[in-house]
Amino acid sequence: MKTAQRLRRQRRFAWRRLAGVGTVAAVGALFSWPAGLGLLALGLGWAWWCVEREFAEVLGEALTGAPHEDLSPRARLVLEPLRAQERVWRRRLEAARRDRERLIAAWDRLPVGVVWLAADGTIRRLNRRAEDLLQLQRRLHGGQPLALFLPEPRWLERIRASGEAGFTGEVPRRGETLHCRLQWVPLEEGEALLLVEDRTEAMRLERMRRDFVANVSHELRTPLTIVRGYVETALDAPTPLPPPLAGYLEQVHAQAVRMQRLVEDLLTLAQLEGTQPPPAKWVDVGELLETAAAQARGVAPEGLTVEVDFPPQPGAILGVRTELESALGNLALNAVRYTPAPGRVVIGARAAENGEGELFVRDTGIGIAPEHLPRLTERFYRVDRARSRDRGGTGLGLAIVNHVAQRHEARLLIDSAPGKGSEFRLRFPSGRWREGEAVK
């Protein structure tokens, strides 16, 4: 049936061409060069008709979808490269489909919850873990604004502002409370991924470790005080002790003092890590500098000067006095510890750009090689263990300083060059720094 139609159509084409040729010949006759013009038109029309017929037939065969073997040699010639290309595209399409399925399966097996958010904050997709942690369902909540289903609608803003560090919040789930870390990963065109990580177990273990260290330190405190007390009594006895015994007792005393310092630092760290900071108050910067300088002068050897560099308007820091004193005191003691006499230690404060401000401790001491700088705030990390111990260091000072900085939204910045000296800075954000009179 289709073939008959095609033939009829081809015949119609042929008649039209012949009519065209006839017309051209008639026009030619009028101008007395009929034969040439007519033959030319006839030839052109015939050629055009042949091409059209070929094309129509090949296309007709192609559209029947007949297997390759059943095609005419002419159609095979034309269709072979097209069908080869089609096979390539089909294979690629199939591979892309399989990859997509695998990606979706992997996305659902991720141990971290992931929510893909559109630019307007609505949920585009979420994986199984995110469904489980945030108590959402794809069918119900897809296309809805995520902010509505978080424990607090304001969370989304806080997560976005928290950057790479992420925001940790309590998420209720089936009668229990999870501690989840939520992190914002910006994508193209305002879209974003929200990563949700369950940190409940990690935080429990971290708390256990902290409690253990705090308890051990606490338990060691009393026996150490007693040992130190008896040793001091024996050393201060009116009748002098025989020389070897006095030497042994002095060793015991020095070690007891060192252990006591260690225990105190461990307790300070445990307290900084495990508790919320007390309410912040404006703390006078001038007083902070004086306290730290007095502490440093108390242990500085002869030939080492300790100076205070007051800014024109010392002002105040919004924070916890004891913690700020401890941080600046640690930096000042380190400066004295690692600066041989003759030398100079300067403890000061200055305003920085964007309304920020900083406390600094500068020394002309031994300095620190650049490769050690990133690890200095790790507990018990020392550049030179023996030297630190000789100078009464515990290896915990900068860890304490770093914790205090974090609790005050401040940053610890270190500039140092071996043999030249160091500058340690605590940089406070504008909201915590005020120039001029301290607000009591």
Whether 347 contacts 289, CB under 8 Å: yes
Residue 194 CA to residue 160 CA, distance in Å, equals 9
DSSP count for the chain of H helices, then E strands = 12, 13
From the list 383, 406, 415, 427, which residue makes contact with ligand ADP (rule: CB under 6 A)? 383
CA distances from residue 411 to 55, 192, 270, 371, 428 in whole angstroms, order as listed: 77, 28, 20, 19, 7
Residue 142 or 418: which CB sits closer to ligand ADP?
A: 418
| By the rule CB under 6 A, 348 interacts with ligand ADP | no
DSSP string of 211-273, one letter each residue: HHHHHHHHHHHHHHHHHHHHHHHHHT-SSPPPHHHHHHHHHHHHHHHHHHHHHHHHHHHHHHH
- Taking the complex as a whole, the smallest distance from the CB of residue 249 to ligand ADP amounts, in Å, to 25
281-284/123-126 β-pairing: unpaired
Among residues 397, 405, 412, 432, the one that binds ligand ADP under rule CB under 6 A: 397
Nearer to ligand ADP, 268 or 422 (CB): 422
How many residues bind ligand ADP (CB under 6 A)? The answer is: 23
| Pairwise CA distance, residues 74 & 54, whole Å | 9
| The two three-digit tokens of residue 117, written as one number | 């958010």
What's the min distance (Å) between Cβ of 385 and ligand ADP?
Answer: 7
Whether 131 and 137 have beta carbons less than 8 Å apart is answered as yes
- The DSSP-derived string for 138-192 is HHHHTTSBGGGGSSSTTHHHHHHHTGGG-EEEEEEETTEEEEEEEEEEE-GGG-E
Nearer to ligand ADP, 58 or 401 (CB): 401
Q: Is 366 in the site for ligand ADP (CB under 6 A)?
A: yes
Among 41, 388, 407, 412, binds ligand ADP (CB under 6 A): 388
Q: Which stretch binds ligand ADP (CB under 6 A): 18-26, 58-66, 194-202, 380-388?
A: 380-388
Q: Least distance to ligand ADP from the beta carbon of 422, Å?
A: 4
Within 403-432, the residues that bind ligand ADP by CB under 6 A are 422
Report, in Å, the least distance between residue 339 CB and ligand ADP: 7
Which one, 183 or 422, has the nearer CB to ligand ADP? 422
Binding mask 279-318 for ligand ADP (x = CB under 6 A): ----------------------------------------
CB 403 within 8 A of CB 409: no
Site for ligand ADP contains 268 (CB under 6 A) = no
Using DSSP's 3-state secondary structure scheme, residue 354 falls into: helix
Please choose, out of 88-96, 314-322, 391-399, 425-433, the segment that lies near ligand ADP by the rule CB under 6 A. Answer: 391-399
CA distances from 24 to 12, 21, 33, 37 (A): 19, 5, 11, 7
**CA 42 to mean position of chain CA atoms:** 78
Binding residues among 323-342 for ligand ADP as defined by CB under 6 A = 334-335, 337-338
Q: Which is nearer to ligand ADP, 351 or 373 (CB)?
A: 373
Q: Report whether 235 contacts 219 (CB < 8 A).
A: no
Distance of closest approach, residue 341 Cβ to ligand ADP, in angstroms: 14
| Contact call for residue 398 and ligand ADP (CB under 6 A) | yes
Nearer to ligand ADP, 292 or 399 (CB): 399
Segment interacting with ligand ADP (CB under 6 A) among 18-26, 86-94, 349-357, 383-391: 383-391
Least Cβ distance, residue 209 to ligand ADP (angstroms): 19
Tell me which H or E stretch contains 406. Answer: helix 397-407
Stretch that binds ligand ADP, among 182-190, 192-200, 267-275, 365-373 (CB under 6 A): 365-373
Amino acid identity of residue 314, one-letter, is P
Measured from the CB atom, the residue of 424 and 433 that comes closer to ligand ADP is 424
Task: Say how far apart CA 190 and CA 193 lie, in whole Å.
Answer: 10
Q: Is 376 in the site for ligand ADP (CB under 6 A)?
A: yes
CA pair distance 262, 244, nearest whole angstrom = 27
Token pair, residue 380, equals: 């018990």
Query: Which residue ranges make up the site for ligand ADP (CB under 6 A)?
Result: 334-335, 337-338, 363, 365-368, 376, 381-384, 388, 393-399, 422
